[in-house]
Amino acid sequence: MARVAALLGASLLFGVANAHLAAFHKGMYCLNGPQSAQDLNSYSIVTPLYQLDLNQWWFHHVDRCDQFPPADGDFLDLPAGGQFTVEIASNRAKTTLSYNGRDASDWPDGNTYPEDYNVPTCITSPNFHAQNQSMAAGTAFAISYESDISKVTPDNLAVFTVRYHTPWKRVTTYDVPANMPPCPPGGCICAWGWVPNGCGQPNIYHMPYRCRVTGSKSNTPVAKPKPPVWCEGNPGGCTKGAKQMIYWNQNSGNNIQVSGYDQAGEFKSPAYNSKLGFPDGAQNDIFAGPPSSSSSGGTSTGNSGNTNTGNTNTGSTNTNTNNQNNGSNSNNNNNAGNGNNASAPKPSSIAPPAASIAVHVNLNPPASRSSSSAAPAATDSNATTISTSSTSATNNRAPSCKRQRRRRGPILDAEDPATQEEQDEVPAALNKVVAVTHRRRFAKTW
Ligand SMILES: *[C@@H]1O[C@H](CO)[C@@H](O)[C@H](O)[C@H]1NC(C)=O
Ligand SMILES: *[C@@H]1O[C@H](CO)[C@@H](O)[C@H](O)[C@H]1NC(C)=O
Ligand SMILES: *[C@@H]1O[C@H](CO)[C@@H](O)[C@H](O)[C@H]1NC(C)=O
Ligand SMILES: *[C@@H]1O[C@H](CO)[C@@H](O)[C@H](O)[C@H]1NC(C)=O
């Protein structure tokens, strides 16, 4: 702890680091951060979610982002059978939503990089949690046919579009299924999700928007979504039809658990891609039945004669309730490690890069959690010296953390503080400090 404090002290010199990414659009909640006053440099929403209770991580309630809806009339419009575009960025300032795009570039952080940007030890600026574009995990949008955000639950929020190999460039386009039914008069609630695949903390992103379908041609509702399951190499085993978003590595509310290794020999990390049965593009199999013609041809919000609140439908069998993990019963230990029991990784054989601090310092752990935190795992000294986290010696940390440690270098969450230029570089020796800063920042912020 003393060491952490010392590092933290030193790290303050570098300012706040927070180069994570989120999908910006005027229809988003938290456009100005968790406040009503305009903030052209907001970036609260880019903070990832990890080991939080359901009521905290759901729609980023942890910092009250879900309490700050977009301005009246601002929606993310989803043209049935068409596309929509958002700006994936590390800060609102790096999008066209601020300063007329003055600080925006083709990339999420306002800087410029080679088209074939590739860093075998992981790209950290922007914080793609990937080595290159082909390794980017994939991102998704989901929709709930509820207008009131408080009524949105995993059971009525279905993934309707996925974009493989994102996040990558700032401007990102998603496809809308042609048969999307219209939203109720008050619009729908959408969500953006991203679950990185290694290269850092195995967290998730879950942020809300007000959205509405335009040009609907069908009134058939979206079926009740079921949790996705790991089905790499076994398409027949994938969850068919409407799927929930990926809820992983939280203290409660998880809907997927994985263990072991993927086909590439890395620790499994669920993501919005084929490994969970999500095809790239529009998810055209999410409806409760065949398309039914709409009386209206659908304008935007309007025609909702049909109250189909998506959930009603489908009889869907299912929902399997879940699965194995509902997180709630697991203490955060096995949560992070979810399926992997101690026998899995061989940490000692994994040489952690000096600066690779995959260990998570718990953000504001609930009091109860501290009791479960045992001594840091003895296997990797450097990483664990900083760990005050609850991940204990008796269980493994999240698989992707290990993976990440094995395959990459510094987890440098270098950042672009607001509108300022991104730090050009951080001396290698300071990488660790910066990484710690990042963790500590969480601790302070959350
Ligand atoms: C992307 O990164 C992965 C992992 O380091 C590597 O195997 C692959 O060759 C890279 N692809 C390109 C195009 O650089
Ligand atoms: C999670 O598990 C707990 C205890 O096993 C149970 O009470 C709760 O209803 C479950 N929640 C969900 C969403 O399945
Ligand atoms: C740990 O994982 C190994 C290999 O997957 C399995 O054989 C063993 O039963 C697991 N142990 C526990 C306690 O889950
Ligand atoms: C820990 O890091 C220091 C400095 O980076 C390095 O000299 C030392 O060998 C590392 N120890 C282990 C066990 O990796």
Q: Examine residue 390 and state whether it is found in any structural domain, yes or no.
A: no
Q: Is the CB of 329 under 6 A from ligand 3?
A: no
User: Please, is 235 exposed, middle or buried when counting C-beta atoms within 10 Å of its C-beta (0-12, 13-18, 19+)?
Assistant: exposed
- Structure confidence by residue, pLDDT tens digits, 165-216: 999 999 999 999 999 999 999 999 999 999 999 999 999 999 999 999 999 9
- Structure confidence by residue, pLDDT tens digits, 355-384: 333 333 333 333 333 333 333 322 333 232
Query: Is 137 in contact with 273 (CB distance < 8 Å)?
Result: yes
Q: Is the CB of 329 under 6 A from ligand 2?
A: yes
Question: Helices 428-445 and 2-11, interaxial angle, to 10°?
Answer: 100
DSSP readout, 180-243?
Answer: PPPPPTT-EEEEEEE---SSS---BEEEEEEEEEES--B-PPBPPPB-----TT-GGGSPPSSB
The pTM of the whole model exceeds 0.75: no
Mean per-residue pLDDT of the chain: 73
The residue segments making up the domain with residue 308 are 20-341
Q: Is the CB of 372 under 6 A from ligand 4?
A: no
- Structure confidence by residue, pLDDT tens digits, 297-307: 444 444 333 44
Q: Examine residue 375 and state whether it is found in any structural domain, yes or no.
A: no
Query: Is 158 in contact with 222 (CB distance < 8 Å)?
Result: yes
Q: Examine residue 213 and state whether it is found in any structural domain, yes or no.
A: yes
The residue whose CA is least distant from atom 11 of ligand 2 is: 326
Q: Examine residue 405 and state whether it is found in any structural domain, yes or no.
A: no
Q: Is the CB of 36 under 6 A from ligand 2?
A: no
Q: Is the CB of 382 under 6 A from ligand 4?
A: yes
Rg, C-alpha atoms of the chain = 21
Q: How many domains does the chain have?
A: 1
The residue whose CA is least distant from atom 13 of ligand 4 is: 381
Q: Examine residue 366 and state whether it is found in any structural domain, yes or no.
A: no
Mean local confidence (pLDDT), 44-61: 97
Rounded alpha-carbon distances, angstroms, from residue 305 to 90, 247, 297, 309: 39, 32, 12, 11
Q: Examine residue 5 and state whether it is found in any structural domain, yes or no.
A: no
Atom nearest to 252 CA in ligand 2: 1
Atom nearest to 259 CA in ligand 3: 5
Stronger pLDDT, 416 or 277, i.e. the higher one: 277
- Structure confidence by residue, pLDDT tens digits, 91-127: 999 999 999 999 999 999 999 999 999 999 999 999 9
Which pLDDT score, from 0 to 100, does residue 293 have? 81
Q: Examine residue 386 and state whether it is found in any structural domain, yes or no.
A: no
Q: Using 50, 70 and 90 to split pLDDT, how confident is the model at 289?
A: very high
Residue 3 one-letter amino acid: R
CATH number at residue 132: 2.70.50.70
Q: Examine residue 403 and state whether it is found in any structural domain, yes or no.
A: no
The residue whose CA is least distant from atom 7 of ligand 4 is: 354
